[in-house]
Amino acid sequence: MRIYNLFPLLAGRLPHWTPHLERAAGLGFDWVFVNPIQPPGESGSLYSIADYFAINPALLAPHAAQSPEDQVRAMAAQAERLGLRLMVDLVVNHCAHDAPLVREHPEWFVRDGDSVAHPYCVEADGRKVVWGDLAQFDHHHSPDAEGLWRYCVAIVDYLIGLGFRGFRCDAAYQIPAPFWRRLIGEIKGRHPESLFVAETLGCSPEQTRETAAAGFDAIFNSAKWWDFQSPWLLEQYEATRRIAPSIGFPESHDTERLFTESDHNPQAMKQRYLFTALFSSGVMMPLGFEYGFRGRLHVVETRPEHWEEPAVDLTDFIRQVNQIKVDHAIFRQEGETRLLDHDNPAVLLLRKASERDGSRALIVLNKDPWHPQHFHAEDLSQHVQAPLIEVSPDLPPAQREPVPAPYSIDLGPGIARVFVTAPGG
């Protein structure tokens, strides 16, 4: 899955989404992920849903002849014409604390004394963060668990009726695996083409494995935060890759913009996009990354007027990296992935091996986005026991020839070189 995250509060009203859909298709994405489109509660947060069976008025064209649902369906039809499939957030761990559901079905919620409980998380420093605008569904002990489950199925059916075929399941690890196994089985039984992706970031490895094994088609990984040397990312990857494929991202609506984090360094952005795209079988990129937007996406405050003038233009580079994924199946698969030893610690040498067809790939990446680095190998192909062909971005197809031995190159800041085994190798 090559996913473009069209953040609705930045994109604005549905009729204005067409240029963003066209850009996503032109960049080589095949899915568009949209954050929640239902009306929020009093906090205004997209993830504090007040009514699951309505459309956020901020996204609708005023005085339109079409119904709100038909406006969404028209957008979905346009995406389909462009070869894109639509994914939307499925938020069933909680709803808005002021949603009518809290009054209509108090038995569906976790209680804190006489009040409805709010979901929370514990930060790495031990600080407890409580989301006071949310009411937490009780999927574990509700006396009407069947009624709550059927309500969640109805939400998915409603979204499918609007044209969505994929679901990013928010806070999936906080909901029991049997709930997901049953819901996913029910939906796929009637809509086999539907896909479910689990949001599991921040949970324990055990929670990730248990959630991923509940029938999800993919999970998200933490490649964005890897320092290119610590063992944790490859350990996490190895623990889940046979259960569910993973999706990497260079930034998301939950993070700062990478252009800001990297002190406005486009080489750092290219470095991280290529790595997250080729390390994982899937990749996701939010609206504005391609232009080096600085303003963080905010689930309450972002508005269309926060659209920025492009600081950089990475569209051609992103298109080329996405095409590498299209052209070479090894970058769309999970497989054995290892760090390899060599002489320069400032350069990453990563090997991927497919367990489906025996193909292999090497990524040689300058970890330093500010300074050039030299890389040398007496025989690069020895790491894969087969001839290699370079398929790096910015390399015309006519120049994709077998890699010589010895192999030496001066890598520019953040630059990566990508190699795959020759056909039949």
The predicted-structure confidence for 5-22, as pLDDT tens digits, reads as follows 999 999 999 999 999 999
> Which H helix or E strand runs over 235?
helix 232-240
Contact 88, 36 (CB under 8 A): yes
2-95+140-334 falls under which CATH superfamily? Glycosidases (3.20.20.80)
8 Å CB contact between 49 and 40: yes
Fold annotation for 338-421? Immunoglobulin-like (2.60.40)
The pLDDT of residue 114? 84
Closest by CA to 413, choosing from 270, 291, 315, 285, is 270
Q: Cα dihedral sign for 161, 167, 173, 178?
A: positive
Q: Give 183's contacts (C-beta < 8 A, 6+ positions apart).
A: 149, 152, 153, 156
Read off the pLDDT band of 425 (50, 70, 90).
low
Return the SS3 of 161: helix
Token digits of residue 18: 């067409």
Domain locations along the chain? 2-95+140-334, 96-138, 338-421
pLDDT surpasses 70 at 326: yes
For 16, the 3-state DSSP assignment is helix
What pLDDT does 13 receive? 97
Nearest CA-CA partner of 117 in 91, 145, 137, 142: 137
Q: Measured between alpha carbons, how far is 136 from 96 in angstroms, rounded to an integer?
A: 9
pLDDT at 261 over 80: yes
Separation of alpha carbons 160 and 158, rounded Å: 5
Q: How far is CA 106 from CA 136, 141, 164, in A?
A: 11, 13, 29
Distance CA(37)–CA(72), nearest Å, equals: 9
- Per-residue pLDDT tens over the stretch 142-201: 999 999 999 999 999 999 999 999 999 999 999 999 999 999 999 999 999 999 999 987
Q: Is 335 helix (H, G, I), strand (E, B) or coil?
A: strand
